[in-house]
Structure 1
Amino acid sequence: MSADDALPEGLSGNEAIRAAEERAERTRARNRPQWDDLPIPDDTANLRLGPDLNEALLPLLPLVGVWRGEGEVVYPTIDGPFHFGQQISVAHDGRGFLSWEARAWLLDGPGGAVVRPSAREVGWWRPQPDGTIELLLAHQTGIVEIFYGTGRTQTSWELTTDAVVRTASAKEVTAATRLYGIVDGGDLAYVEERAMMGQEMQPHTSARLVRVAG
């Protein structure tokens, strides 16, 4: 499966607009948990609430929100494919970067019961004046990655690792690519390819997430 294969075909224009309107009614008042007594602006995942979006983040505006859905993980070194649920929170505090937090949980099948907590990552999206995007990610498995990329369109972004650092106890990861896109009625879809454990670059995870806040 290629990166492009992971981003599904779009709905018709009318269907997409109708789906987006229906979803907005459910999500427009929701936000990530807030610290009302914080002496500085708290992160917001809702563009209607909190500090104004920094102009530098306009190329990434569609990403802001809280997203939840399901995906699949495959690789030659595992017994999968396995299915997982995931929530991603993308927020800002008025400055020129986005905070990113993703957490996943293994499922016993598509739409199935939760088996156990799984991958977690935190990081920062840092758009630059020349149109490039820096993405810094730290994983609970002991991996830290620095991605560089650009927007392919106004609603899709492709990034490739420039550096991968790991702790002594972490598994070998040498490179990764990620493609994110806003699809059908406003869902967030992505595919990640990885080179690790002696394997060449190939598909590893893909998911489709629905906006639940923002």
Structure 2
Amino acid sequence: MHDPAPRLPFPDATASDGSPAPHPLLAPVLGYLGTWTGRGSGGYPTLDEEFTYAQEVTFSHDGRPFLAYEARAWLIGPDGQPVRPSARESGWWRLQPDGRVEALITQPTGIAELCTGHVRDGAADLTTHQVALAPTAKPVDATRRRYTLTEGDHLSFVHDLAAVGRPLQHHLSAELRRATAGLRV
């Protein structure tokens, strides 16, 4: 008979709170760790009208040289209350020694983006390297995402989109505030 499965998670914590220490390559993005919430607005030429949305973005890590990324959004009605879920994404930001970022971002609508970019002075700028689409997904050709940390635990988000035959143009922007700090996946 063999030993039972080991207890998980494996003990590799080095931080005083029991979470793993951040990998040194995460230094340029340590300020992003945690959960961010706020509101934004969006639109696109193929939509009937502009819209307001609430957003929650979480960045976490498990001690390896990448961030786990998750974003959720809800459409907001004229009364300021959520109407229904909107976008949802998850993925990974892989940090490179020279400050470059390779990001994989997937959406349940059948879109997977491979983005590349850099992080400098609290600002991450990611542009499309490649887009993979499920057979029934909306045609997306390119995106550009900018995340900017500002004073007082604010995170600005701007998303440009080239889709359904349209050129790259503004799609979304939001102002988020830190809701929680976070250090692990």
Same fold (TM over 0.5): yes
TM-score by length of 1: 0.76
Structure 1: where are the runs of 5+ without partners?
1-36
Structure 2: where are the runs of 5+ without partners?
1-6
Q: Give, in whole Å, the separation in 2 of the partners of 1:184 and 1:208.
A: 12
How far apart are 1:79 and its partner, in Å? 1.5
How far apart are 1:128 and its partner, in Å? 0.8
TM-score by length of 2: 0.88
Match of 1:213 in 2: 180
Q: Give, in whole Å, the separation in 2 of the partners of 1:202 and 1:41.
A: 47
Verify: 1:39 aligned to 2:9, yes or no.
yes
Match of 1:84 in 2: 53
Q: Give, in whole Å, the separation in 2 of the partners of 1:134 and 1:204.
A: 22
**Whose helix fraction is larger, Structure 1's or Structure 2's?**
1
How far apart are 1:130 and its partner, in Å? 2.8
Match of 1:201 in 2: 168
Match of 1:14 in 2: none
Q: Is the 8 A contact 1:67 1:212 kept in 2?
A: yes
Counterpart mapping for 1:138-153 below 5 A: 138-151=106-119, 153=120
Match of 2:137 in 1: 170
Q: Which amino acid aligns with 1:125?
A: W
Q: Give, in whole Å, the separation in 1 of the partners of 2:151 and 2:50.
A: 25
How far apart are 1:103 and its partner, in Å? 0.6
2:96 to 128, 131, 134: 128
Q: Give, in whole Å, the separation in 2 of the partners of 1:38 and 1:121.
A: 27
Moved over 4 A (4+): none
Length, aligned pairs only = 173
- Structure 1 41/70 Cα, relative in aligned 2: closer, same or farther at 3 Å? farther
Q: Which amino acid aligns with 2:47?
A: I
Q: Give, in whole Å, the separation in 2 of the partners of 1:72 and 1:49.
A: 38
Cα deviations across residues 103-140 of structure 1 (Å, max 9, x unaligned)? 1111014x701100111000001011232110100001
Q: Give, in whole Å, the separation in 1 of the partners of 2:159 and 2:11.
A: 32
Match of 1:75 in 2: 44
Cα deviations across residues 2-38 of structure 1 (Å, max 9, x unaligned)? xxxxxxxxxxxxxxxxxxxxxxxxxxxxxxxxxxx74
Q: Give, in whole Å, the separation in 1 of the partners of 2:8 and 2:177.
A: 29
Q: What is the DSSP-based 3-state SS (H/G/I as helix, E as strand, rest coil) of the residue aligned with 1:185?
A: coil
Q: Give, in whole Å, the separation in 1 of the partners of 2:170 and 2:10.
A: 41
Verify: 1:191 aligned to 2:158, yes or no.
yes
Q: Is the 8 A contact 1:146 1:164 kept in 2?
A: yes
CA-based RMSD: 2.0
Q: Is the 8 A contact 1:41 1:93 kept in 2?
A: no
Match of 1:157 in 2: 124
Rg comparison, structure with higher value: 2
